[in-house]
Amino acid sequence: MTKDSELTGIVYIYASFNNTIAQLTDLAGNTIGRISGGQITKHSRLKANPTIAMFIAKKLAEYAKDYGINSLYVRIKGQTNSTGAGPGANSIVKTLSKEGFKVISISEITKVPRGGPKKKGGRRGRRV
């Protein structure tokens, strides 16, 4: 492998308000490493902390450097029913860029419900 070759990976970040999980894959989707806030700290109240997310990103950077990856696509997913990604998502992206990785793109892949299930009450609605 030459020094000029650029290997690209994808980082999937699931950042809720209770935990932060990050997964590193190659472009084919093969998992290289996965780490969560619970593997970093044992205090349950700190799992969604930006400081813990920084340590998650440093661990992911070790996995990526072992594999030879130097540029990343980032996909951020939050909780579906809440206001988007939790507090750890931006911290992971910032730390990965400080570690020397080239961030190609950042995408928000949180699913948004449109319409929802059918309301009860029948065709003419609820009659009071």
Measured CA distances, 71 to 7, 34, 68, 118 (Å): 7, 17, 10, 44
CATH of the domain at 23: 3.30.420.80
Of 107, 95, 103, give the one whose Cα is nearest residue 35: 95
Are 53 and 16 in contact, with CB atoms under 8 Å apart? no
Backbone angles phi and psi of 116, in degrees to 5: 80, -175
Can you give the pLDDT at residue 3?
59
pLDDT in tens, 86-127: 888 999 999 999 999 999 999 999 888 788 888 888 888 888
pTM for this prediction: 0.83
126 domain-assigned: no
Position 4 pLDDT exceeds 80: no
Total domains, the chain: 1
The least confident of 34-43, 62-71, 75-84 is 75-84
80 domain-assigned: yes
